[in-house]
Amino acid sequence: MKSKSIEIVESLFGNPLNFLKLGTPQVYENMTVIPIIIQDDKFIDFITIKEAEELELIEIIESDTVSQLEVINKSDKQILIPFGITVHGGKQDRTIWEPILLSTGGKQNILKQNPKKVVQKYTIPAKCVEQSRWNYTGGRGFKSSSMRLHPNVAYEAISAGGQSGVWQEIQSHRAEMSYDLAVAPTQSYLEMTKVSGKKTESIIKNFKNIKNQCGVAVFINGEFIGIEFYANLEVWKYMSNDILKAFSIEALRFKDKPRKNGNIDYHDELIKILHDLNFDFSTREGVGLGNVVEFNSNDNKWRGITLVHSETMIQFYLVSKRGGYQTQPRQNLQFQTVVSQRYQI
C-alpha cells in the first residue's frame, strides 16, 4: 500500500495548480522569480530555527560524530530546521540534509531539575560542508548561517548524494567561480560563498515579497531550475533572503551563457515541467514530526525532498543540477560536467 505522504507529493506533480497559487513573475537580468502564494488550508503554525535562535529558544550542540548534531528545543513551539540550512561552528561547518519539525512535546526532558520547563532534545543528521578543519575555532556551539546551499550542492546533499558528493561539488564550485586559493583554506563552503555575497545581495534586492507569499519558483536564463515553499508565510519571510541568495548563485554561474530565446510564459512552463516529471519516491519517519519524502527523477536530472505533516508539505524543495561534479556517465546527463559546457548545442 502506497504511503499517504507519497500520495500527497505525487498529487502536486499530477495537478500543480491544486497546490500552487502563482504570482506575477519578477525578472532581473538572467533570473526570474515566480512568487508562490500560500493557500489557507495548507497553513501550519511553526517557527523557523532562525527565529528560535533570535528568541534563544534553541541550541545546537556538537556530538562525537560528524554526521550528527544535537538540538535542544527550549520552547513550547514547533520549530522547523529546513533542509539546506547551514550551521557554523564546532569542528566543522555542517548542513542539515533533511527538513526537521521539532515537536512541542514527547521527547526527552533533559532539565530534570526543572521539570515544569519544556525542553526537548533531538539527534539530527548533518553533512560536512568544510572538509579540512578538524579543530574548534572560537566557541563550541553552533549558529545557523545566512548561507543556504545553492542548487548544485543541495542536489548532492539530499541523502542519495552522500558526503563525498557534497565535498566534490563544493570543490567544483570553487573551480567554476575561480575563487582565490587564499579563500577558504579549509574548503569551507560558507567562506567561499562570502566572496560573492555583495553580488548576490545586489541581485536579490530586485525581488520583492508579495502578500501571502510562501515560496518561489526560479528560472535562470529562461530555464526552470528549482522551487521551494513553506506551509507558513512568516517562516518564508524569515528565510526568503537566504533562499534567494542561494538561487542567485546560479544567476552568477550562468550570467555569461546564452539565454532561452523568445517570449516565455513562465506560469505555463513551470506547470508543464512539474506535470511531466517522473520520479522514484521513498519515505521515512522524520526525526521530529511527520514523514520525510525524497524523490529522484528517473533520468537523474532532478532531486527533491519534503516533510509531510498533518497531510501538508511543511517545506518543499526541488532542484535540477547544472554543471559541476559529475556522478553519472556523460551520455546520461542533460547538464554537462562544467558550466562552460552547459549551453553547448
Residue 221: per-residue pLDDT: 95
Q: What is the DSSP string of 14-68?
A: H-GGGT-EE---EEETTEEEEEEE--GGG----EEHHHHHHTT-EEEEE-SSTTE
Average pLDDT over residues 134-140: 51
Q: What are the distances in angstroms from CA 173 to CA 53, 149, 187, 252, 253? A: 29, 11, 11, 12, 9
% the chain with pLDDT above 70: 86
To which residue does cell 495537478 refer? 15
Q: Round to the nearest angstrom and report the end-to-end CA distance of the chain.
A: 44
The answer to whether the CB of 98 falls within 8 A of the CB of 115 is no
Output the pTM of the full model: 0.88
pLDDT of residue 302 exceeding 70: yes
pLDDT score of 41? 72
Q: What does the pLDDT read at residue 307?
A: 98
Grid-cell match 558550466, residue found: 339
Pairing relationship of beta strands 47-48 and 79-81 according to DSSP bridges: parallel
Distance CA 142, CA 126 (A): 12
Tell me the C-alpha distance between 280 and 277, whole Å. 10
Under the banding of pLDDT at 50, 70 and 90, the label for residue 306 is: very high
